[in-house]
Amino acid sequence: MKTIKRLFGLNKESRKSQGFKNSDPIGLSESTHLPPEELFIDNSSPKESREVKKVHSQLINDYLNKDYYQIGIQEGFSMHSNEAAQSRKQLIKSNFRNLINEIIEENREAIFNLSNSLIEVSDLSTELKDKLENKIEFLKAEIDDLDLQKQLSIEDEGLVMSAIHSYHQGFLSGIKSYLEMDKIINNNY
């Protein structure tokens, strides 16, 4: 009860310090004293869905934009075997699919929470209800896009193939460097 009185500014100390007088016998001044606007209204801009999309796309971009060419050169020079290259390519695709699965799971949790919020506010505000429904549809569309990328990665297609091709080119360059070095060493003996 004290917390509610403090929120609404109904305790005696705050009325005295704010200059309220006890001259109102029926307590109208208490009922006309309004709580702070921030308590009930969110004036922040609706950037959350764009920020979530940016975070997810940034995670994917960070993964795909690693220097796979340089990794390929190093592994081609040191391992120079097709099995090592194939193993690394499978690992790149597997890690990509795991990243996609994590983002999909985050989106599903967000959809669950938004659906619960939608149930709670559906009778209160049609505008808020529509916004929540739009957010849910946005997340579902993102899940569909991510599922498509996951399926394409299995079929050696999609976004992940830029990383695979970069690694492969680096691996071939590493093997070429190894063979040139080996040729120079063997010619000198």
Residue 44 pLDDT exceeds 90: no
Residue 73 sits in the same domain as residue 143: yes
Residue 52 sits in the same domain as residue 30: no
At 29, is the pLDDT very low, low, confident or very high (cuts 50, 70, 90)? very low
Residue 58 sits in the same domain as residue 95: yes
Residue 105 sits in the same domain as residue 147: yes
Q: How many domains does the chain have?
A: 2
Residue 32 sits in the same domain as residue 59: no
31-35, 116-120, 121-125, 157-161, range with the lowest pLDDT: 31-35
Average pLDDT of the chain?
82
- Supply φ then ψ for residue 35, to 5 degrees: -70, 165
Structural domain for 26, as ranges = 2-39
Amino acid at 155: E
Residue 27 sits in the same domain as residue 58: no
Residue 34 sits in the same domain as residue 53: no
Give the up-direction half-sphere exposure of residue 83: CA atoms within 13 A in the CB hemisphere.
0
Residue 69 sits in the same domain as residue 140: yes
- Per DSSP, helices labelled H in the chain are 2-8, 12-17, 28-32, 48-64, 68-78, 82-121, 126-154, 160-187
Please compute the mean of the pLDDT values over residues 171-185 and round it to a whole number: 93
- pLDDT at residue 21, rounded to an integer: 47
Residue 20 sits in the same domain as residue 55: no
Cα-based distances in Å from 155 to 68, 143, 160, 188: 20, 19, 11, 46
Residue 149 sits in the same domain as residue 183: yes
Residue 26 sits in the same domain as residue 87: no
- Residues 49-89 have pLDDT tens digits of 556 567 888 999 999 999 999 999 999 999 989 999 999 99
22-31, 42-51, 58-67, 94-103, range with the lowest pLDDT: 22-31
Residue 138 sits in the same domain as residue 179: yes
Residue 85 — left, alpha, or beta (φ > 0 → left; ψ -120 to 50 → alpha)?
alpha
More reliable by pLDDT, 157 or 10? 157
At 3, is the pLDDT very low, low, confident or very high (cuts 50, 70, 90)? low
> What's the CA gap between 137 and 73, in Å, rounded?
43
